[in-house]
Structure 1
C-alpha cells in the first residue's frame, strides 16, 4: 500500500509519541467522565444491560485515528514519477572507408576478411545511435557508398550490400579512399569528425598520394583511425578467376603497409590497429567505440503527487463522526 510513497517531513512522525500518552491519560481518567451514584443496595431496582456504555470508547478511538492521520499528513506523503530525456551535446560524424579489393576475400578471417568486417562494423554502427555515419568503398578507385546520415537503417543496408565486384579497378588506392572520405566529411558541422580507414594491402593504385590525403584530413580537423586487416605470414587468397567466374585460391604472402597506416594515424591524431583474426577485429572496433564517445546530457523530470489530502479528509470525517455520535447516541453517557 505504501510502495512508492516517500515522506518529505519525516520529523513530524515524532508526534506519534503523543498517542500512547493520550491512551494512558484516557485509561486513568475515563472513570471520571461518567457520573457515579453510590447506593447501599440495588435490590429494589431492575437491572438493565445496555451496549451503549461499552461502545463509548469508540469515540476516543475515532479521535486517536484522526490525530494519527493528521500527523501522517503533516509528514507530506507523496509519490514521484521520474522520466528522463537525453540530449546529444557532442555529436560525432564518422566515415568508414572500406577496402573492397579482391584480397579482401582472403579466408584468414572467417568466413572472409570482408564478411568478418561487415559483421563487426554492423555492430559498431548499431552501438552509436546518436552519431551520423557514412561509407566509402575503394579498391583501385573510390566512391561514396552512403553519405553521412543519422538513418542507421540506410547505413546498415549499404554495409550489407558491400561485396567484391570488378566494376572498381583492381589494386588498392589508399590515398583515393582517404581523400574521398575527407571530401565526404570536411564540411560537417559536428564537434568531432572521424574516418575509420581499413585495408589489407599496400597503396599501389590511384593518383592521390596517401600522405597528401592525410594532410588534407589534418587541415579539416579530421581524425583518422587506420586498421590493417590480415594475419601474419601466408593467407588463403584469390589468385585467379575460373572460367565459371569463381575464384581460385592459393597461399599468398600478406603484405600490409603498416608504416604508411601508422603515419596517417599519427599525423591526424588517430591510432593504428592490426586485426590478425576475428577476435582482434572485434576488439579494435570496441576500442575505437570507447575512444570516440558521444557526450550525452541526461535531463531528469520528476513529477510529484501529494497524498496528504485524502488523509486530512479522512481525519475530518472521523472527527465529524465523533462529534455527531457525541451529540446524539452518546449524549447521555459521555
Structure 2
C-alpha cells in the first residue's frame, strides 16, 4: 500500500502560481549599474532567445518533486503478526575493573570475563524471539543502556560496544537491581525477570543489595544471579608457577540470597560451557501471554523525488553558465 505520511504538504503544489498574481514594480528608466561581462552576456542571450520553456518545465518538475518528497511517500507492506507471548528480561552486566581478569577461554584462547560474557550472552540474545530485552551496565553506579524492547539487534550491539571502566571501577549490585525494578514498574503485563551477571561483591552504589532485595520482593521481580569467574588459575610468580583463586572476592552468599528470596536461582559460571548451560535453563522460563499485535513493514520512498529535485535544480542553476559558454565559443568561432 502506497501512502503519504504528511499528505497535507501536497497543498503547497500550486504555491508558485501565486507569484504570477503578485503586483510587479514598474521599471524605471535611467542609468543602470555596470555589471560584469558574464552577467551582461547572459542577459543579452536571454533577451534574444526569450523565455526558455525547457527550463520552465524543469523548474515545475523540480518543485513538484520537492513537495512530494516533503510529503514523505512510503510503502506499507503486508501486516506481520508479533508473537503474542514472551518474556520480559532485564540484563544487568558488571563492567567493574575486576571483569578484566583473563581467566576464561573461548576456542582455546584466554580472554577476560567481559569478552566471554559478550560472546555467550550475544547468542542468548539472538535466541530471544518474542521476548522484550533491556540492558543495564553497572560499576560505580548503574546506567540504563536499552529499555525493554523487541529490537534484539540493538541490545546486542550496545552490549558489544560496552567497555570495562566505562562507568567506573567498583561494583554497585544494589543499584543495578534497583534500576531494573524501576524500569519494570511501567509494565503491568510482565513476568519481571532480572538476570544479573557479576564477578564480585557490592562495593558501591546508593542502594544496598538487601534494600534492593526488599524492593524486588514487594514488586514481584524475579532475580537470577550469575557469578562469573574461574575457581582456580595458574599464574607465574616470583618462585615459579602457583595456583590462585581469581574469584575469591565473589560474594556467593549474597547472590544466592538475592536470587532465592525472589523465586529465582543463583548460578555459578566458572567457564564458557557452564554459562551456556545456565542460559539453556533460562530459556525454559515460562513465557507470559500478551495481547495480539500486528505491525506493517514501512519503506521510506522520499529520497527518490528528493534526488530528482536536486538533480533538476543543478541543471537549472548551470543553464546560464552553459549559455554563456556557448556564446563565447560562437564568438571565437566567428
TM interval, shorter chain, is: 0.5 to 0.7
**2:182 paired residue number:** 183
Whole-Å separation in 2 of the counterparts to 1:87 and 1:162: 29
1:177 Cα offset (Å): 1.2
**2:268 paired residue number:** 274
**1:230 paired residue number:** 229
Whole-Å separation in 1 of the counterparts to 2:223 and 2:207: 17
Q: 1:102 aligns with which of 78, 87, 97?
A: 97
Secondary structure of the structure 1 residue equivalent to 2:216? helix
**2:282 paired residue number:** 288
Whole-Å separation in 2 of the counterparts to 1:279 and 1:221: 31
Unaligned runs of 5+ in 2: 1-79, 106-110, 236-242, 293-334
Number of aligned residue pairs: give it: 200
TM-score by length of 2: 0.55
1:169 Cα offset (Å): 2.8
1:260 and 2:254 correspond: yes
Larger radius of gyration: 1
Whole-Å separation in 1 of the counterparts to 2:278 and 2:288: 18
1:114 and 2:114 correspond: yes
Alignment check: 8 A CA contact 1:90 1:190 kept:
no
Unaligned runs of 5+ in 1: 1-84, 237-249, 299-334
Alignment check: 8 A CA contact 1:99 1:137 kept:
yes
1:132 and 2:132 correspond: yes
Whole-Å separation in 2 of the counterparts to 1:183 and 1:112: 31
Change (3 A) 1:171 1:100: same
Alignment check: 8 A CA contact 2:95 2:169 kept:
no
**1:192 paired residue number:** 191
Alignment check: 8 A CA contact 1:93 1:194 kept:
yes
Secondary structure of the structure 1 residue equivalent to 2:196? strand
Matches within 5 A, 1:1-334: 88-110=83-105, 111-165=111-165, 167-234=166-233, 253-254=246-247, 255-293=249-287
Change (3 A) 1:261 1:294: same
Secondary structure of the structure 2 residue equivalent to 1:291? coil
Whole-Å separation in 1 of the counterparts to 2:189 and 2:155: 18
